[in-house]
Amino acid sequence: MERIEIYIKQLVNYGADMGLIEDCDRAYATNRLLELLGLDGIADEKVCEKAELEEILDGICDYAFEKGLFESNSVVYRDLFDTKIMGALIPMPSAVISKFNALYAQSPEKATDFYYHFSKASNYIRDYRVKKDLKWQTESVYGDIDITINLSKPEKDPKAIAAAKLLPQSGYPKCLLCLENEGYAGRVNSPARQNHRIIPLDLGGDDWFLQYSPYVYYNEHCIAFSKEHTPMKIDRGTFEKQLDFVGVLPHYFIGSNADLPIVGGSILSHNHMQGGRYTFAMERAGDEVTLCFEGYENVKASIVSWPMSVIRINSDDKAALCSLADKILCAWRKYTDKGAFVFANTDGEDHNTITPIARRRGEKYEIDLVLRNNITTEEHPLGVYHPHAELHNIKKENIGLIEVMGLAVLPARLKDEIAIMKDAILSGKDFAEIAEIEKHKAWFEAFRNDYSFTEENTEEILKKEIGKTFVKVLEDAGVYKCTPDGRDAFMRFVASVGGKRI
């Protein structure tokens, strides 16, 4: 039996073992794979030898490239092809939705357990790549902060980049979050999604959908997105949809990136939220100041002990929570405090918005309202409330929802840079003489005399200092600093909305 035949049989066995197909689907699935690989038949022999999915797909892709079934043996083209292969094992959307709904009737947890398992088994979530991400925690005065270096997003090779530039502009799908991605074959500049299935949701009376992030930065990292391709917008409807979501899936939280550049997410063109089954440091953070708001006596409120500026509201009355959240949002949109360098608008550009996060706290509903401002200056052209230049060696990108809650998503380059820095420290080399880590020299000099570096502890020291730097990043992103003056300014805003300290 040829090796490709073994891979085909192993993949069909995998599909049956993982619940993607039934035993009665084996012949059909085999024939679909033969068609995709340009084969006429397969030996009538059983294969009992098991292999990891990554190994099976690598073997199939190696064969396909040798036979000229795709043009470049790079990660972009291999991903496009192996997703097409996995699509042969995936049930129709209606079947996945029916199973989700049947399990939801038993419990929300059973429904999401099935869907999360399915999303990994289908290779939509490439678990073997996600496991390569570096993860650790850093102690801080705000609690244990999660640090990740993301390695699961593949880097595009130059050939794929060049090919993408030559492609005619396509408006289909309009973006990576549009429902039309489900089952899409993909292009070199748009991922294949034949193995992708989405679940319909009714949020606030509107059609939305549930899916998981293919990069799962945390446990069961999901995305809820609008059926309509409409821009991000934080308003009362956002709070209503978030509370509906945690009513439908009470074991999940849901949050939304802000709706302005710099303080928003990477996709502002399509209204969406992110959630999942994970407890972030911000959720664990306690109350720094207890508040009450006039007319909302049934709502518990506080300023959270967190490096960013967070008002937490909690109640079993969803309508009261939405009303107070909307009142705070509307007040913040137009709030200016020159003494605190808070400007609602300059030169016709709006600056104030909110990053909201909703969850269940027992039987009650809770919303965290994180005040954001995207003003820029000559000194801080990327944003006053954004990582400042001296921290860009670690984190230069926007501080979005996930970072706001206390999980650093740091660039993949840091994995290699940590190794290079370790070698330089132990061999006594000057960072300034090594191009890859020259940018870290001033950062390293600030703490080099605080430690005695050894082969055993150097990497952990670097990770610890990276974590401490991310805490500073969060502090830079906070509109009101965690100082007496900062808290006084924060309370001035609270008072403007009818709130007071109790």
Residues 322 and 243 sit within 8 Å (Cβ to Cβ): yes
Asked whether the beta carbons of 400 and 308 are under 8 A apart, the reply is no
Of the candidates 211, 210, 205, the one whose C-alpha atom is nearest the C-alpha of residue 191 is 211
Place of tokens 């066995």: 13
Q: Could you report the per-residue pLDDT of 450-495, keeping only the tens digit for each?
A: 999 999 999 999 999 999 999 999 999 999 998 899 999 999 999 9
Q: Is 277 exposed, middle or buried (0-12, 13-18, 19+ CB in 10 A)?
A: middle
Sheet holding 499-501, edge to edge: 199-203, 206-212, 222-226, 272-276, 253-255, 352-361, 364-373, 310-315, 300-304, 287-293, 499-501
Q: Does the pLDDT value for residue 371 go beyond 80? A: yes
Q: What is the mean pLDDT of the chain?
A: 95
* pTM score, whole prediction: 0.94
Q: Does the pLDDT value for residue 166 go beyond 90?
A: no
Share of the chain above pLDDT 90, in %: 93
- From residue 181, alpha-carbon distances to 79, 120, 130, 162, 165 in Å are 15, 17, 21, 23, 21
The amino acid sitting at 105 is: A
Report helix, strand or coil for 206: strand
The tens digit of pLDDT for each residue in 422-431 reads: 999 999 999 9
For residue 128, what pLDDT is reported?
A: 93
Whether 374 contacts 383, CB under 8 Å = yes
Q: Give the position of tokens 């600056």.
A: 351
What does the DSSP assignment read for 385-431?
A: TS--GGGTTT--S---HHHHTTEEEE-THHHHHHHHHHHHHHHT--G
Report the C-alpha gap between 489 and 384 in whole angstroms: 17
Q: Stretch 25-51: mean pLDDT, rounded? A: 96
Token reading at 61 = 């892709």
For residue 162, CA distances in Å to 156, 170, 171, 189, 300 come to 10, 16, 19, 10, 55
Three-state DSSP at 148 gives strand
What helix, strand, coil percent values describe the chain, rounded to 5? 40, 20, 40
Query: Can you read off the two tokens belonging to residue 393?
Result: 């060696």
For the stretch 250-270, pLDDT in tens is 999 999 999 999 998 778 999
In the prediction, which pLDDT does 152 show? 79
